[in-house]
Amino acid sequence: MSRLRALIGPSILNADLSQLYEESQKLLSNGADYLHLDVMDGHFVPNLTFGHPLVKCLRSKIKEAFFETHMMVQNPEQWIVPMANASVNQYTFHIEPVSNVADICRKIKENGMKVGLAIKPGTPVETVERYVDLSDMILIMTVEPGFGGQKFMEDQMTKVKYLREHYPLLDIEVDGGVGPSTINCCARAGANMIVSGTAVIGASDQAATIKLLRSTVQQVIDDH
């Protein structure tokens, strides 16, 4: 695991979206490694957030940061080119609603983005394992996708452990209910990319919270 890095990517879902640039810049200034941008279409999940025009607008002000879009959408293929045009770095999509996962992975890479594959809590890890070689990262959801502020589902750590044991250098991301009270569990299971929304956005000291999350994960990586 020596080549893995602990990376903290705050989710802006719980931020004041009317102040999106200011909120995002504040997170980066406080030590965030990347921004996790939740895109919801009202179909794959019941909620609706924002799309590529807003991401492109944010990119016009934030030039250097790593943008990951978490595409909680029914038809991820539809948004590949628009998100690439918005200078997204990693396009993470859910495999559940699509049958042509390999084709979508290829199209994402052809458009110059990294590939992230996400699964909901009810999806077996074996479903995504067959596509590991096509991806740059696997996202294990630790809540049901669609809304922020949900309770962390510790039973999802068995999926993280399985992937870490079988793919020692794979980037594994967790998203949902992750914060100071649950980070030890995620770190021990083997997650190295940490999405935290409510716990970071609402923290009285964002920088200290991000530092705590990162150091906890990095310590486990360094100990292996």
Q: What is the mean pLDDT of the chain?
A: 96
Instruction: Give the mean pLDDT of 183-193.
Output: 98
| C-alpha–C-alpha distance, residues 4 and 7, integer Å | 9
Output the pTM of the full model: 0.97
pLDDT at residue 13 tops 90: no
Measured between its terminal Cα atoms, the distance across the chain in Å is 6
Instruction: Give the mean pLDDT of 10-37.
Output: 95
Would you state the pLDDT for residue 149?
A: 76
Would you state the pLDDT for residue 14?
A: 83
The per-residue pLDDT for range 75-130, each reduced to its tens digit, is 999 999 999 999 999 999 999 999 999 999 999 999 999 999 999 999 999 999 99
The per-residue pLDDT for range 24-68, each reduced to its tens digit, is 999 999 999 999 999 999 999 999 999 999 999 999 999 999 999
Instruction: Give the mean pLDDT of 205-209.
Output: 98
| C-alpha–C-alpha distance, residues 71 and 108, integer Å | 12
CA 5 to chain centre: 15
Q: Which residues are catalytic?
A: 38, 175
Two structure tokens written together for 201: 């956005």
Would you state the pLDDT for residue 1?
A: 44
Q: Domains in the chain, start-ordered, CATH in brackets?
A: 7-223 (3.20.20.70)
Would you state the pLDDT for residue 146?
A: 82
| Nearest alpha carbon to residue 183 among 162, 199, 168 | 199
> What DSSP string runs through 58-85?
HHHH--SSEEEEEEE-S-GGGGHHHHHH
pLDDT at residue 2 tops 80: no
| C-alpha–C-alpha distance, residues 168 and 115, integer Å | 18
